[in-house]
Chains A and B, each alone.
Chain A
Amino acid sequence: MLSLIARRLLAAIPSVLGIVVVTFVLTRALPGDPAAYYAGPAATAEAVEQIRVKLGLDQPLWRQFLDYAGDLARGDLGLSVSTGQPVSEELLRRLPASLEITLLGLLLAGAIALPLGILAATRPNSWIDHACRLVTTLGVSLPIFFTGLLLAYVFYYLLGWAPPPVGRLDSLYSPPPHWTGFYLIDSLIARDGRVFLSAAGQMVLPVITLALFVLAPIARMTRASMLGVLSSDFVRTARASGLTPATVLYRYAFRNAMLPVLTTLGMVFSFLLGSNVVIEKVFAWPGVGSYAVDALIQSDYAPVQGFVLVMALLFVAINLLIDVLYTVIDPRVSIES
Chain B
Amino acid sequence: MNRRRFIQSAAAGSAGPIAASSLPALAQDAKRETLVVANEFGPNSLDIHGVGANRPAYAIAVNAYDRLMTFGRKKLADGTMSYDYSKLEPELAESWQVGKDGQSVVFKLRKDATFHDGSPVTARDVKWSYDRALGMGGFPQFQMRAGSLNDAKQFIVVDDHTFRVELDRRDKMAMPNMAVPVPSIYNSTLARKHATSEDPWAANWLRTNTAGGGAFRVEAWRPGQELIYARFDKWRSGPLPRLRRIVQREVPSAGNRRALLARGDIDMTYELPPKDFQEMSKEGGAVRVVSTPVENALFYIGMNSARPPFNNPLVRQAVAWAMPYDRLMDIAFWGRGVKMWGAKSNTPAAAVWPQPTGYSTNIPRARELMKQAGVPDGFETTLSFDLGTATVSEPASILIQESLALIGIKVSINKVPGANWRAALLKKDMPLIFNRFGGWLNFPEYFFYWCYHGQNAVFNTMSYQNPAMDKLIDAARFETNRAAYEKQVRGFVEMAFTDIPRVPLLQPSFDVAMQKSVQGYMYWFHVQPDYRTLFKA
Contacts and interface: CB of A to CB of B under 8 A. Distances in A.
- Answer yes or no: do A and B interact: yes
Interface of A: 30-34, 36-45, 47-48, 50-51, 54, 81-85, 90, 93-94, 149, 152-153, 156-157, 159-168, 170-174, 176, 190, 192, 194-195, 197-198, 201, 281-284, 286, 290-291, 294, 297-300
B223 A44 contact: no
B50 A156 contact: no
Interface of B: 2-4, 7-8, 10-11, 14, 16-19, 21-22, 36, 38, 44-45, 50-54, 137-139, 142-143, 207-208, 220, 222-226, 247, 249-253, 255-256, 259-260, 262-263, 265-266, 387, 417-420, 422-423, 426, 450, 457-459
Contacts of B51: 38-39, 51, 54, 81
A283 B259 CA distance: 12
Binding site of B, secondary structure by majority: helix, strand, loop or mixed?
mixed
A297 B250 CA distance: 17
Contacts of A94: 224
Contact of A33 (B4, B21, B220, B422): B422
B187 to A, nearest CB: 19
Contacts of A50: 137-138
A84 B44 CA distance: 6
Contact of B226 (A54, A82, A167): A167
A290 B53 CA distance: 20
Given A44-B458, A152-B256, 13 more contacts: A30-B419, A34-B419, A37-B418, A47-B138, A90-B223, A152-B259, A164-B259, A166-B265, A173-B19, A173-B22, A174-B18, A284-B252, A284-B256
A281 B426 contact: no
Given A157-B259, A163-B7, A171-B266, A84 B50 contact: yes
Given A37-B52, A82-B52, A194-B11, A31 B420 contact: yes
B423 A37 contact: yes
A156 B423 CA distance: 41
Contacts of B138: 39-40, 43, 47, 50-51
Contacts of A171: 36, 247, 249, 265-266
Contacts of B11: 172-173, 194
Contact of A284 (B18, B139, B253, B265): B253
Contact of B419 (A83, A201, A299): A299
A48 B519 CA distance: 42
Given A197-B7, A201-B3, A85 B22 contact: no
26 contacts: A32-B417, A37-B418, A40-B52, A40-B53, A42-B142, A42-B458, A43-B138, A43-B426, A47-B137, A82-B52, A84-B45, A84-B223, A90-B223, A90-B224, A153-B255, A156-B259, A160-B263, A162-B4, A164-B265, A172-B8, A172-B21, A194-B14, A194-B16, A197-B7, A201-B4, A290-B252
B3 A165 contact: no
A84 B420 contact: no
B139 A40 contact: yes
A159 B16 CA distance: 29
B457 A42 contact: yes
Contacts of B52: 37-40, 81-82
A313 to B, nearest CB: 22
Contacts of A51: 51, 138
Given A40-B52, A42-B457, A167-B249, A291 B224 contact: yes
A31 B423 CA distance: 9
Contacts of A290: 224, 252
A47 B226 CA distance: 31
B419 A160 contact: no
A195 B223 contact: no
Given A85-B208, A166-B265, A176-B18, A41 B422 contact: yes
A268 to B, nearest CB: 25
B252 A201 contact: no
Nearest to B27: A172
Contacts of B21: 172
A82 B54 CA distance: 8
B259 A43 contact: no
Contacts of B17: 192
Nearest to B20: A174
Given A83-B223, A171-B266, A172-B19, A40 B142 contact: yes
Nearest to B37: A171
Most buried by B among A84, A176, A284: A84
Contacts of B14: 194
Nearest to A33: B423
Contacts of B10: 194, 197
B319 to A, nearest CB: 25
Given A165-B256, A174-B19, A42 B459 contact: yes
Contacts of A42: 139, 142-143, 450, 457-459
Most buried by B among A34, A48, A164, A198: A164
B19 A43 contact: no
A47 B51 CA distance: 11
Nearest to B455: A44
Nearest to B3: A201
A286 B265 contact: no
Contacts of A176: 18
Contacts of A39: 51-52, 138-139, 422
A94 B251 CA distance: 16
A40 B422 CA distance: 8
Contacts of B222: 93, 286
Most buried by A among B7, B52, B426, B450: B52
B261 to A, nearest CB: 10
A201 B7 contact: yes
A37 B139 CA distance: 12
B374 to A, nearest CB: 35
